[in-house]
Structure 1
Amino acid sequence: MGACLPEIADPAECLREWLAGYDRVFVLTGAGCSTASGIPDYRDARGEWKRTPPVDFRDFTEDPAVHARYWARSFIGWPVISLAHPNAAHLALAQWQGSGRLSRLLTQNVDGLHGRAGSRDVIDLHGRIDQVVCLDCAASYPRAEIQLRLSEDNPDWVGLAAATAPDGDADLEGRDFTRFRAPRCEVCGGRLKPDVVFFGENVPRVRYESARTALLGSQALLVVGSSLMVYSGFRFARMAHEAGLPIALLNRGQTRADSIADLKLEGDCTAVLPLALQEPRDSSALLGSAGMLSVP
């Protein structure tokens, strides 16, 4: 694994120097890119779960109790996602895209904050939580519309609070979920599901192929705020490695790709990216306290 020269101890300067060698950089982001927006991540610095893993697709579709519990928790957690705003990392990537050096942006996040920050042609690997789809007839609805319907159908649940997850789920226990009225499709009466990839589901093939083509047409891979513990994201790091593309990681804690990366940096992406992605008038201005350099 590579590291910066000893005289370049600041991760922002280190990343800027690494990026200077490439004109087409594929960027993959994860939950760590959105924590500063108030959306918590799933894993700790060791890549272990901080909370209960997300609901499994099969359980969601086959167990009415799990289906109702998910929607009850989502009802409580959705406001945190809907009120979140892009942070400095999202804005830095959107601005950098304007330079033409960001070949494509792929995100594991479902919060839509990259798009709201101004990034174009974002590939939402795991879908978007702000859309809801019918599992039976494929009708789609804005999540905000579903929230209003849930409020009307479940007035006793309005105002409850709980810790929220990146997918809008909430740690809401000790309630009788069988009394919660889950939303139904207004077209066919079928079951509704957020338009995101649940555990146990596959990323749509067309989405995967679009990301794969963009990655293999790039010169390097930059991973920001992801432990890559989920295979759907890690496979792009493995793909880059197998294709001989250099890989840089910016994350707090270990990642699944540490052993194949050319550069691993520890730091807060909201502090590092705005400095690393700008064209500084004076390079000494970048030397600061954005984070720590991880030297294996």
Structure 2
Amino acid sequence: MPSSVTAEAALEQCARGRLVVLTGAGLSTDSGIPDYRGPDAPARMPMTFQEFVASPTAHQRYWARSHLGWARMGHATPNPGHVAVAALGADLVITQNVDGLHEAAGTPHLIALHGRVADVVCLSCRSTTSRIALQERLERANPGWAARHAEVANRPDGDVALEETAGFVVPPCEECGGLLKPDVVFFGENVPKDRVERCYAAVEALAEAGGTLLVAGSSLTVMSGLRFVRRAAQRDVPVVIVNRGPTRGDALATHLVAEGTSEWLGRLAAVRTT
């Protein structure tokens, strides 16, 4: 069981020495992006990769929702939590988020574990384009769509709560006519092996240097993030978890902080930069 549930003890643990930070959707809620499993998170059944590629209707539904969601998500800006993480001097920041806000905050030594929704890839020729360019093509192919659905509620990762998507036109890859997909890891896909190995290596380095793994704003429900907490615990690396609500890694934590991320990370950044 965790040895402490106090924010002060957790701050002391992270104040000095080597640090790897793992962030989740809870870090971006202060930027107006809903999370997946927080107390106010909307009910959601994420689309799987298999459904996306096998069903033309699902493909259409995804991009119709994303067209609306991106128009809102694309205007999100880093909040004080992102700014604080960028200032921590961490060996590595591993984010499970695809919103690009760590990049916008200027975070060094960053791995976007699940990719970035700002990038688009063709599943046939593997050419990549920007989401902004695709957004312009979607607008031209679907004039008035955004205005007609202006009141639809936001969901995580640029998704929206829209059920009626028939008639939405999804343009193909301009290079080969193939299927376009955001360059992110869907449910049912694997995180690229090289990303995972780089993250494991950073955690292993903490074991040798007496560092700490800090988890901020993640429920650790999926294995893609939890595995690094498990590796840290196996190597006797202290684990600090800052999250509103329980996480799947709580039993492995050295310190738990049941607070929002922005304020606590700001306090930590102030300590580590003095």
Please indicate, yes or no, whether the TM-score normalized by the shorter chain is above 0.5: yes
Task: Tell me which residue corresponds to 2:218.
Answer: 226
1:29 aligns with 2:23: yes
**What's the offset of the Cα at 1:246?**
0.9
Q: How many residues align?
A: 267
Alignment-derived partner of residue 65 in structure 1: 57
Residue of structure 1 in register with 2:132 after alignment: 144
Pick aligned residue for 2:14 from 19, 42, 49: 19
Kindly indicate whether residue 249 of structure 2 is the aligned counterpart of residue 260 of structure 1.
no
1:104-161 CA distances to partner (integer Å, 9 max, x unpaired)? 0000000111111111121000000000000000111100110110011011412223
Give the structure 2 partner of residue 205 of structure 1: 193
Equivalent positions of 1:50-199 (< 5 A) are 50-97=42-89, 102-159=90-147, 160-161=149-150, 162-173=152-163, 175=164, 177-199=165-187
The answer as to whether partners of 2:22 and 2:213 remain within 8 angstroms in 1 is yes
Q: Measure how far apart 1:75 and its partner are.
A: 0.4
TM-score, with length taken from structure 1: 0.86
Go from structure 1 to structure 2 and tell me whether the alpha carbon gap of 1:158 and 1:65 turns closer, same or farther (over 3 Å shift): same
Output one character per residue of 1:3-30: Cα deviation in whole Å (capped at 9) or x when no partner.
Answer: 16xxxx6x2x33321213x411110000
In the alignment, the residues of structure 2 paired with residue 170 and residue 251 of structure 1 have an alpha-carbon distance, to the nearest angstrom, of 24
Letter aligned with residue 14 of structure 1: A
Identity %: 45
Q: Aligned partners of 1:70, 1:188: CA distance in 2, in Å?
A: 21
Cα deviation for residue 79 of structure 1 reads: 1.6
Distance in structure 2 (CA, Å) of the matches to 1:163 and 1:135: 29
Counterparts of 2:159 and 2:42, CA distance in 1: 14
- Aligned to 2:88, the other structure's residue is in SS state helix
Seen in structure 2, the aligned counterparts of structure 1 residues 91 and 213 have a Cα distance that, compared at 3 Å, is same
Instruction: Give the partner amino acid of 2:75.
Output: L
Question: In structure 1, how many angstroms separate the alpha carbons of the residues matched to 2:188 and 2:272?
Answer: 45
Unaligned runs of 5+ in 1: 283-296
Q: Contact conserved, 2:91 with 2:109, CA < 8 A, in 1? A: no
Secondary structure class of the residue paired with 1:119: coil
Following the alignment from structure 1 to structure 2, what is the Cα–Cα distance between the partners of residues 249 and 199? 24
RMSD of equivalent CA atoms: 1.8
